[in-house]
């Protein structure tokens, strides 16, 4: 089951992270024939996992946890270093406990993401509670499109699918298309099957402008790592961190208010997606203010429930150079 293994061993953000090592090794375009073979061999396994009932899915997740955490030690050094630098006040034992909880959740997250390929709207309503929906109702009545700012916190894939069944804005998600056309098609179908749309990263502004006559909510997963050149630097989790300014620039240009969404885990298989107004007047703010407001708000959620943020990615791989 090569794809499933690649999902686990090359992941930096589960979906967008496919492009990193996968595309330049196993799924390199120079091996288009192999890409197709791997895809079609993997597809039955992917769908078999996706149609499993949740209780079976979590038994599989328990087994996956043993493999990733105890046998292979997948990115444990990266995760522990990130935790240690983010929470210098915590003891080693406290950090190790967060790390263990994170890996248990991470395995659930991987399998829940595959589940989103076939999950029904009824199941989504049952498993993802949505609070703050009145914000979108208010903006909908005013015929006002919005920007959604969120992080790799909780299950963002189930959250996006849950938003699709709301009667207000059409959700568009900014994403990195995969170089492997077969898996790119699978991810595209997974994310759009309930009515959501996608904008590729490089064409996001063009897409937003092109859809400006529609009532849209454009989601930026805005805690990814930008190139340090031209990035805005700020304190995040006790570390100097480069952040993207695109969310702020686009919201200012389009005059779209920014709504923050955090997806909190209530218990295994149960989430609460909480929306709140973050910036109501983006045209009056600096774009750096908008991304700082988002990053500080996300930090509060991470501090409260650190085990459900994505610690496996190298968020602080870049260091600020002295001017």
Q: How many domains does the chain have?
A: 2
**What's the maximum distance between 2 C-alpha atoms anywhere in the chain?**
55
Residue 139 and residue 286 share a domain: yes
Residue 200: pLDDT above 90? yes
**3-class secondary-structure state, position 168:** coil
Residue 192 and residue 50 share a domain: no
Looking at the domain assignment, is residue 261 inside a domain? yes
Q: What are phi and psi of 200, to 5 degrees?
A: -70, 150
Looking at the domain assignment, is residue 37 inside a domain? yes
Residue 174 and residue 300 share a domain: yes
| Helices and strands in the chain, H and E counts | 12, 9
β-strand partners of 262: 274
Looking at the domain assignment, is residue 32 inside a domain? yes
Number of neighbours of residue 55 by Cβ within 10 angstroms: 9
Point out the domain boundary residue: 115, 133, 162: 115
Instruction: Check residue 30 and give its pLDDT.
Output: 54
CA 127, CA 104: separation in Å to the nearest integer? 18
Q: Report which DSSP code applies to 72.
A: S
Instruction: Check residue 178 and give its pLDDT.
Output: 84
Residue 11: pLDDT above 70? no
Instruction: Check residue 179 and give its pLDDT.
Output: 80
Residue 125: pLDDT above 90? yes
CA 155, CA 152: separation in Å to the nearest integer? 8
CA 234, CA 219: separation in Å to the nearest integer? 22
Instruction: Tell me if 290 sits within 8 A of 248, measured CB to CB.
Output: yes
Percent of the chain topping pLDDT 70: 89
Residue 7 and residue 146 share a domain: no
Calculate the CA 254 to chain-centre distance.
23
- For 31-77, how does the pLDDT look when each residue is reduced to its tens digit (9 = 90+)? 667 888 888 999 999 999 999 999 999 999 999 999 999 999 999 99
Residue 23 and residue 75 share a domain: yes
Point out the domain boundary residue: 115, 139, 159: 115
Looking at the domain assignment, is residue 265 inside a domain? yes
Point out the domain boundary residue: 56, 90, 115: 115
- Residues 101-114: b if buried by 16+ CB within 10 A, e if exposed: ebbbbbbbbbbbbb
Residue 126: pLDDT above 50? yes
Residue 217 and residue 146 share a domain: yes
Looking at the domain assignment, is residue 97 inside a domain? yes
Beta strands in the chain (DSSP E): 128-131, 146-150, 170-175, 197-200, 216-221, 232-236, 239-243, 258-267, 270-279
Q: Bigger pLDDT: 322 or 229?
A: 229
**3-class secondary-structure state, position 144:** coil
Mean pLDDT of 252-271: 98
- Here the tokens at position 288 are 């750096």
Residue 102 and residue 157 share a domain: no
Domain around 95: 2-115
Looking at the domain assignment, is residue 321 inside a domain? no
Residue 137 and residue 96 share a domain: no
Instruction: Check residue 147 and give its pLDDT.
Output: 98
**3-class secondary-structure state, position 276:** strand
Residue 247 and residue 286 share a domain: yes
β-strand partners of 274: 131, 262
Report CA dihedral (45, 48, 49, 53) to the nearest 10 degrees: -170
Mean pLDDT of 180-192: 92
Instruction: Check residue 259 and give its pLDDT.
Output: 98
Contacts of 238 (CB under 8 A, 6+ apart): 85, 86, 87, 88
CA 148, CA 251: separation in Å to the nearest integer? 10
- Here the tokens at position 84 are 């240690």
One DSSP character per residue, 88-127 reads TTS-HHHHHHHHHHHHHHHHHHHHHHHHTTT--HHHHHHH
Looking at the domain assignment, is residue 322 inside a domain? no
CA 275, CA 101: separation in Å to the nearest integer? 25
Instruction: Tell me if 25 sits within 8 A of 2, measured CB to CB.
Output: no
Residue 238 and residue 261 share a domain: yes
Looking at the domain assignment, is residue 263 inside a domain? yes
- For 266-310, how does the pLDDT look when each residue is reduced to its tens digit (9 = 90+)? 999 999 999 999 999 999 999 899 999 999 999 999 999 999 999
Residue 187 and residue 97 share a domain: no
Residue 106 and residue 127 share a domain: no
CA 201, CA 174: separation in Å to the nearest integer? 6
Residue 23: pLDDT above 70? no
């Amino acid at each position: 089951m090569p794809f499933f293994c690649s999902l686990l061993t090359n992941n930096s953000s589960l979906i967008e992270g496919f492009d990193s090592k996968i595309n330049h090794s196993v799924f390199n375009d120079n091996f288009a024939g192999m890409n197709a073979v791997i895809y079609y061999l993997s597809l039955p396994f992917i769908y078999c996992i996706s149609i499993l009932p949740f209780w079976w899915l979590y038994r599989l997740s328990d087994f996956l946890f043993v493999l990733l955490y105890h046998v292979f030690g997948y990115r444990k050094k990266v995760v522990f270093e990130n935790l240690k630098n983010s929470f210098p006040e915590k003891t080693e034992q406290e950090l190790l406990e967060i790390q263990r909880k994170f890996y248990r959740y991470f395995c659930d997250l991987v399998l829940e993401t595959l589940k989103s390929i076939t999950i029904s709207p009824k199941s989504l309503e049952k498993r993802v509670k949505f609070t703050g929906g009145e914000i979108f109702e208010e903006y909908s009545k005013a015929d006002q499109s919005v920007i959604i700012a969120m992080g790799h916190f909780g299950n963002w894939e189930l959250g996006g699918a849950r938003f699709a069944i709301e009667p207000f804005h059409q959700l568009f998600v900014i994403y990195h298309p995969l170089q492997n056309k077969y898996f790119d098609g699978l991810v595209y179908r997974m994310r759009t099957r309930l009515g959501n749309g996608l904008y590729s990263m490089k064409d996001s502004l063009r897409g937003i402008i092109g859809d400006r006559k529609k009532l849209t909510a454009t989601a930026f997963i805005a805690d990814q790592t930008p190139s340090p050149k031209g990035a805005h630097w700020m304190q995040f989790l006790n570390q100097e961190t480069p952040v993207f300014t695109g969310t702020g620039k686009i919201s200012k240009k389009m005059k779209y208010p920014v709504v923050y969404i955090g997806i909190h885990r209530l218990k295994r298989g149960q989430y609460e997606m909480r929306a709140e107004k973050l910036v109501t007047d983006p045209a009056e703010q600096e774009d750096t203010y908008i991304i700082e407001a988002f990053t500080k708000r996300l930090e509060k959620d991470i501090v409260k429930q650190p085990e459900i943020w994505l610690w496996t990615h190298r968020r602080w791989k870049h260091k600020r150079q002295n001017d």
